[in-house]
Amino acid sequence: MPVKFNQYWTIKTAMRDEYGKFMIKTFIPGMNSLGIHVVAGWVVLVGSYSEIFVEGMASDLEIIEKAMRNPKFDKLKHQLLNYVKAYKTKILISTGKKDSYSIDIEEDVFKFNQVWDIISESKEKYEDYVVNEYYPLMEKSEISVAGEWEVLIGDGPHIICEGRVRDSCMLLNTLKSKEFRVARRKLKRLVNNYRSRILTFHIHKVKGYKSASYNMLGDA
């Protein structure tokens, strides 16, 4: 079962140039060598949370646990802290409600992430609603639901709905639409601590003929 290892931080202002070189030349190759494949880096455009997060993926939890015990990971993290602050991590597992996650993401894609905590006594109603109404509405609005994830280790909220969209104007029109606002109000009756964020690429993976490379696309 795929498992995500996400790392979050804010870049130290005086270290931005050096940070970019470190990420491309040292940090990303190091994480990949530990078995945690760097899918992308993202910067928050709208919404509150860490400035940057780097999305990593492994095929199972054991690989992530082994990587985090490796002295190489500890060295990479301490090197990273020369360039960033407010570092934290989350380990996410798929809830199984959506099975469309892909590690290959086109450069023109935005993320629309929604997070929340399920109200325990509403769990059955919640599951029926998101599977049969809320997520289909997102898909109809051209917001691809790449996955629903549960935070196994890390701070909350503990459910993350990962949406992907190509047209930011279309996304804003959807968010303003009566149909979506009504649907979100219904969702909020079943969950607590609802928040949303719009993100764009900070680091993009480019597929080559034999291997992948990474481009730094900027920061906040």
If phi > 0 it is left, if psi is from -120 to 50 it is alpha, else beta; for residue 154 that is left
Q: Which backbone phi and psi does 67 adopt, to 5 degrees?
A: -65, -40
Q: Return the domain boundaries, the chain.
A: 3-94+200-216, 110-199
In this structure, CATH architecture of domain 110-199: 2-Layer Sandwich (3.30)
Domain 3-94+200-216: which topology?
Answer: Alpha-Beta Plaits (3.30.70)
β partners of residue 94: 149
3-state percent helix, strand, coil for the chain, nearest multiple of 5: 35, 40, 25
Judge whether 3-94+200-216 and 110-199 match in fold. yes
Considering the entire predicted model, what is its pTM?
0.91
Rounded Cα–Cα distance for residues 64 and 29 (Å): 16
Q: Which backbone phi and psi does 2 adopt, to 5 degrees?
A: -65, 140
Task: Walk along the chain (220 residues) and give the pLDDT tens digit of each residue.
Answer: 789 999 999 999 999 999 999 999 999 999 999 999 999 999 999 887 788 999 999 999 999 999 999 999 999 999 999 999 999 999 999 998 877 678 888 889 999 999 999 999 999 999 999 999 999 999 999 999 999 999 999 998 999 999 999 988 899 999 999 999 999 999 999 999 999 999 999 999 987 655 679 999 865 5
